[in-house]
Structure 1
Amino acid sequence: MASRTFDSLSDFMTAESLESGVFRVNDNGLPIDASLEKHVGRPLLVFLHGAKTRKVNLPWFVGAGMTAERDVSRLSISDPSLYIREELTLAWYAGNANQGDISHKLASLISKCAELIHAERIILIGGSGGGFASLSIGAHIDGSIALVWNPQTHIRKYYKRFVDDYEKVAWRESGQTLKDLQRLDLTTVYSQPLKNTVIYLQSATDEFHIQNHLEPFAQKLHPENRCYFYSGTWGDGHIPPPKNQLATWISFALAIDLDDQILWQNLEANTRSAGATQPTKTVISN
């Protein structure tokens, strides 16, 4: 149950304060549900989920365990498209016929939250479909960091049954198709200069995502964009890094000086010497 409900995103954007708890923003007939744990003046960690299972009840808020012992604020957002029909399990926070492309809406919501709680940094965190969402939304938020693992970078290049389900439920039944969505392909989005930072973690045994998502993204990445790739062997296939490694990467994202070019150059050199799987690319923007 939401502790506070906003009639629209415009209503939310006029809020003068925001307290810890669950809040709802109604948007064109669907709710954007979010859970906030507020610590004024601290970094804001934004958690975005991937595909849900049948056991998951909406709204679905992830990330609480990763922030339990950290002096940070946490914002967990449930993908509103999943409310359209129960059998839809993955929608990438990419929107639907009612709401349109919601990446910019969620970016505005996140930025407003950060403003109200005086967050010193915004870090978007997610894997797989939540990784796509973190990259997509982060591209709208200058100075943000997207910490992602095994993300999709082009929705149409994911497994066909998930793509078809999403198109049918979220778009086609209202007479539209995925062709109406402009931000399906993040390789194109990130081929333009952006002002966010990406930390991209990839399972070295997840060949599907390496070939279809990581390599095209890295190849088209604009030379001014700052993106750090790291590949590790965590098990077989499409699995996330162990929790202790994710905790380390979160600590890194919290501590890194984004203006320290020497630090980024050293990271690239250290990764090469450690034998990380290619491509490993760190690009420093001015």
Structure 2
Amino acid sequence: MPRRRDVERYAPRRETRHASLADFEAAGPGSGIHSISAGEATVDLLLDDDVQSGSLVVFLPSAVNSSVSWPYFQGLSLATVTGQPLLSFSDPTIERSTGITTAWTLGDDRYWLHHEMDRYIDAVRRGRRLIFVGSSAGGFPALYYGSRYPDSVSVVVNPRTHLFTPPTHLQLTPSRLYGAEGTVDRISELVPLAPGSPGNTVVYLQNSADHVYFSGHMVPYLQQAEPGARIWTHLGDWGAGHKPAPPAFLHEVVRTLATADTLDEGIHRLPLERFAGLDAVRAEQMDQNIRHFTAG
């Protein structure tokens, strides 16, 4: 069943419809909800741009449940608390069915959003530092798109770093997103399966007790990082399972990176470790897990 469309929940923001991406670019878009026609699909983004800042938070959505309407924008409270302008994308593929919870903001067989995502961002960037933020499923596009901007930073929380590493529902129903030929092999030719070694700065926040994502996503991602990659990590004990970083901590990270004169200055003000090798990361995770279980 297709999702119900509802933009009124984001009032008093007003919706502006654009006939095409080129129309959106030419409009010099300002604050509000922008709905851009892209063939059979609609790309919806929310722009809160009334705050003076040298940074712009680009928020990529995590998975949603079957009951939410579309578009569905995330990151609003983070932007408010940190006092930063916000560009938030709704995953356009969730429109298709209440059974589709995420397509990692990459697009689908109607419209390959990842081919043109830079144009949506560039239309509203206006020279500002880009801070890509995403948690879990939203971590994948935050890493992938951030890597296209060498002067940006991707802040990710327990991120997915490969599309077909469990857990994922897409293994069962890829054709629902990518058409009759939507096999895993075919999808691997059409969409990025992994973000690759970063071309920008990455702040990787990981719950040490989230064993599935630590072993299945963080470790493989760090294994393929090239020497000298600008990756900083923080392991925290935030509770067993796929529990995110406490909101106050994520707010501190984003606020610090957004307001510092340089990214390096912001990073050195935060409790982060420069990635130098997997042995150190694994040792820290083991130490936190031991303390977690002995304290319990």
- TM-score normalised according to structure 1 size: 0.83
Q: Counterpart in 1 of 2:139?
A: 131
1:65 aligns with 2:72: no
For 1:262 and 1:30, the matched residues in 2 are separated by 38
Q: Alpha-carbon deviation of 1:268?
A: 2.9
For 2:267 and 2:81, the matched residues in 1 are separated by 30
For 2:62 and 2:141, the matched residues in 1 are separated by 9
Q: Secondary structure at the match of 1:198?
A: strand
Q: Counterpart in 1 of 2:110?
A: 98
For 2:212 and 2:170, the matched residues in 1 are separated by 15
For 1:255 and 1:265, the matched residues in 2 are separated by 13
Q: Alpha-carbon deviation of 1:261?
A: 11
Q: Alpha-carbon deviation of 1:85?
A: 2.2
1:185 aligns with 2:189: no
Equivalent pair of 2:29/2:123 in contact (CA under 8 Å): no
Unaligned runs of at least 5 residues, structure 2 = 1-6, 8-13, 287-296
Show CA shifts across 1:34-57 (max 9, x none): 111113651211111111112211
Equivalent pair of 1:39/1:72 in contact (CA under 8 Å): no
1:25 aligns with 2:36: yes
Q: Secondary structure at the match of 2:205?
A: strand
Equivalent pair of 1:148/1:200 in contact (CA under 8 Å): yes
Question: Percent identity between the aligned chains?
Answer: 28
Q: Counterpart in 1 of 2:58?
A: 46
Equivalent pair of 1:46/1:76 in contact (CA under 8 Å): yes
Give the 3 Å change call, closer, same or farther, for CA 10–56 of structure 1 in structure 2. Answer: same
Q: Alpha-carbon deviation of 1:147?
A: 0.6
Show CA shifts across 1:53-88 (max 9, x none): 122111001111112243321111100111222211
Q: Counterpart in 2 of 1:258?
A: 263
Q: Counterpart in 2 of 1:282?
A: none
Equivalent pair of 1:90/1:162 in contact (CA under 8 Å): no
Q: Counterpart in 2 of 1:171?
A: 178
2:201 to 186, 197, 203: 197
Where do 1:68-83 residues align within 5 Å?
68-83=80-95
Q: Counterpart in 1 of 2:46?
A: 35
For 1:90 and 1:29, the matched residues in 2 are separated by 18
Q: Counterpart in 1 of 2:222?
A: 218
Q: CA RMSD in A?
A: 2.8
Equivalent pair of 1:198/1:227 in contact (CA under 8 Å): yes
Q: Counterpart in 1 of 2:243?
A: 239
Q: Alpha-carbon deviation of 1:153?
A: 0.5
Q: Alpha-carbon deviation of 1:252?
A: 2.5
For 2:82 and 2:237, the matched residues in 1 are separated by 27
Equivalent pair of 1:155/1:185 in contact (CA under 8 Å): yes
For 1:182 and 1:154, the matched residues in 2 are separated by 11
Q: How many residues align?
A: 265
Q: Counterpart in 2 of 1:6?
A: 18
For 1:134 and 1:246, the matched residues in 2 are separated by 15
Counterpart AA for 2:194: D
Q: Secondary structure at the match of 2:151?
A: coil
Give the 3 Å change call, closer, same or farther, for CA 267–201 of structure 1 in structure 2. Answer: closer
Q: Counterpart in 2 of 1:114?
A: 125
